[in-house]
Every structure is written in structure tokens, then in C-alpha cells.
Structure 1
Amino acid sequence: MNDTGRPLRHVLILGGTTEARRLAAVLAAEPALRVTTSLAGRVAAPRLPAGEVRIGGFGGPDGLARWLREHAVDALIDATHPFAGTISHNAAVAAATAHVPLLALRRPGWVPGPGDDWHPAPSLEAAAAALPTFPGTRIFLTTGRMGLAHFAHLTDLWFLVRSVDAPEAPCPPRMHTLLDRGPFTLDGERALLREHRIDVLVTKDSGATATAPKLTAAREAGIPVVVVSRPAVPEGVPEVSDPAGAVSWLRKVAL
């Protein structure tokens, strides 16, 4: 109950992104709301948001639908990483099953500018298949530790892999791992490309400003960039690009 005696409206955020943390901070200050953020638990030391936090999976769409009902959730906001396709699909199915309004919060994707040498790829598999067609053998791979298996067969290439946590096998046999977390600076990315003599950059279209300096550094160095396209938001799910848009939607459906 809030100060007026009315029951709190419960909002569940599927989080793990900067936008999710910003949204949780805004909503936690709303006296009429109870805010819970769910984190997948794939990062060893996640940055915790304001409000209540749960860590771990739900057991698929049926488990999430059950959690929505049992915890009297009034609105569900999918603010996961743009490439968390399975979670987004499960959220759409669960929200429809539990009759809970669902919104997707997705930051805008990157847009190439003058001088960029970008090569779109529809998937990690396609990105891996394209790499042998580029001149040079030294690859800066910034697609995260979960998809390294797609590159494990490329034995003639050397990879610099940057991720928050240490990757697990299968991995490319010729690989150097750099454990780091953004935001990254332009000077730092320039130095990294020079130090490791990078020939090709591979990245997902995450749209994050914290990791965008590598794109500028690659453009300056004349390095081609393989950009893996993000999956579409599930059909029928409304989408906004920032926390302010999510707050506006929430005021219409749950406040």
C-alpha cells in the first residue's frame, strides 16, 4: 500500500542493460509503484539497479507467466540486451498467457557514417563465414563470450576477444582474452587496435554508447567492421527507445 491506502502497482523489468537500470531508478521513486528487476545471472558481478532484484531464469515462458501471476505483476517491460532474442520471445508468450501488458525498451541501433567500412551480417554464423574473405588474419571480436563457438573452427585466424567474464570452450584455438567492461574511451580503443595490429572488427549492433568508440577507432584506422544485425522485437509488442518512453507507456497502462 502507498500513503493513500491504494495497492502498489507492480512492474517487472527484464533488465541487465544501462537503460533498464535508468528506468528502475526512475520508477523506484514513484510512490505508486513496486519495481522488480530480473537479471539473468550470466555476469558474475552485475550492476544492481534500484528497487527489488531477482537473479536467475524463470524456466521458459510458462515459468515466467506463472511468476507474473503469483507476484501480481501489472506491467512487464523487456529492457534486456537487443540480442537477448530467447528472453524477448519468452516474455511475449508469457505476457500474452498471463494477460499482462508488455513493452520492449530497445536503444536505437548504430548507423554508419561517412568513411565507415561496414559489412552487415544477419547472424554470428554469417559473420564467421565472412571473416576468411577479408585481407588480414587478426580479428577483434566483441560479440561477447556466449557466441564464441561460431568462430571456433577458424584455425587460421587470430582473435582478440573482449568480454566481461572469462569465456568457456569451445573457443577459437588462437585467441587472446581481454576481460573488461565498458564504457570504453576513444583513445583506449585506438591504442588497442594499434597494439594488437587488428585487421577486422566484429561487433553486434548493440547500439550502446559505452562501446561505440571502437567504431570510430576502426573508421580512423581504415579497418572493416562486420556488424551482426539485431533480431526484431516480437510481433505485436510495442517498442520505445528510451526510459522516458517507457514511463509514458506505463502511465497509460498501469498508473
Structure 2
Amino acid sequence: MFNGVSIYSPHYHSWENNYPFKEELLKRIDLDAEIFMDCTNRFQAFAEREKGIAKGKDNFFIVDAIKEGLGAGIIVGGYLKRGAQNLSGEIGHMIINPDSGIKCICGAEGCFEAMVSTERISKWVRDEHKNHKNSLIFKNRKPESVKIDHIFSAFKNGDDFAQKIIDDIIKWFAIGLSNIIVVYDPQMIIIQGIYVDTGDYFINNLRDKIRQYSLPAVDKKVVIEYSNLGWERGVLGGAAYVAWNFFENEQIYRTVRTV
């Protein structure tokens, strides 16, 4: 949405392809100011560069897993990478398990996002209830009411079934991120979102798995860490991006200076 147009949104079904979001927004608000638009993941990457653990780094990407999806913000050579069609960072729709039969919201099968989504995990939990009735996941609740937080809580309390679920998620993350590493060769990958709540086990095992996949004989020096920024990181990054553009864009800078 860098140019104010949403190319495609699987989450907003009423929006047609190439939906003119900025144009529609300006019809509804009276604002005489420069408006910058982009996907939240890119602003979050900018926040990490300005205020987070990627400060001083020019080649890194963030991976943000939320309950609704999975995406990335990519910084290459100190600049946000958008791509020819503004699709760069849509890692949730990389196909990592094409024969899974698991359909993504985008319509494809085996997308990265689908393999680590809370929807798939919840269905797995419901389907496996009869085999794991004593799991802490189901303590005092029906299978259909299980949420990702209940799985995390059971995992932290040593539940075997919950650990099996977390291990499966780690595997798919490792496959997806390993592929990205050999394409971009980043200095750092920053994990944001819901899986940060799984603690050291998740990220330590993710690092180990990534070493095993994609050029295992090569010492991949990429640093993989959790973000230390809170949920406000998108707003923080957006504000930092506007400030950066003020000084980077000569036309905006001159316009403001002459007012």
C-alpha cells in the first residue's frame, strides 16, 4: 500500500483488487498534509532500525506472526525493500508445504502463514482431543474453546501435547526462514508477535533447526532474536518513517521550510 493502493487483501473481502485506499480515506477526512502509507510490517522494521535491536544494522528483516497472519518487513542497504509490485515481505504466502492440503486464506495450499496460523493449530487441537484428553490444553474447557494462549500456558507447564505443537510450528518457521536467509543473507532476523510468548525454547530450537536446513555446511552468521519493542512498534515505526522522509525527501523539506 506504499502508493495508497491495496493490491490485494485476503482479510478484507469487500475490497476489490487494487483498492484505492488513500483516495477513499481522503474523501472522508479533511487533512491538508502529506500522507505516508505502507504495510505495518515495514513500519515495524523501521522501528527496529531506529529504536530496537537492529539499530545500526543495514540488512535485516522482521517476521511478525499475529493471530490473523504472518508477514515481514525487509531492510536492505539501509532502505525498506518493497519490490517491483510492492509485494516484498509477503512471506506468509511462500509455499513451504504444497502437498499439505491446508488451504491459506489467499486460496493457495501450504503457505507459510497457513502452516503456523492459529486457525490450523486450533483445528489440529480439536481433531486430536480424543487422543490427548488429559492434556492441560483441555483443562476446564471444551476443545472448540481452546485458544493459542491456552496452548502456550500448557507448554510452559510441561505438557507433552503442547510441546509437540510448538515443535511443529518451529519446524515450519525454520523451513520458511532458511529459504529467506539464502535469498537475502541478512545480518539479523527479528521475531515479533505471538510466538515471542513461548520464550527461550522456541527461539533456541529455531536457531538449531535453521543451522540444519539450507547449506548446513555453511556457518550462517545471521543473528536471530526476539524483538524488545512492544505492540506499539508499528506506530513508532510509522512516526520514525515520516520523520525520516521529511529530511530524505528534498521536495517535502523545502516545502515545509518555505511556509
TM interval, short-chain normalised: under 0.3
Q: TM-score, normalised by structure 1?
A: 0.26
Q: TM-score, normalised by structure 2?
A: 0.25
Question: Is the strand fraction higher in 1 or 2?
Answer: 1
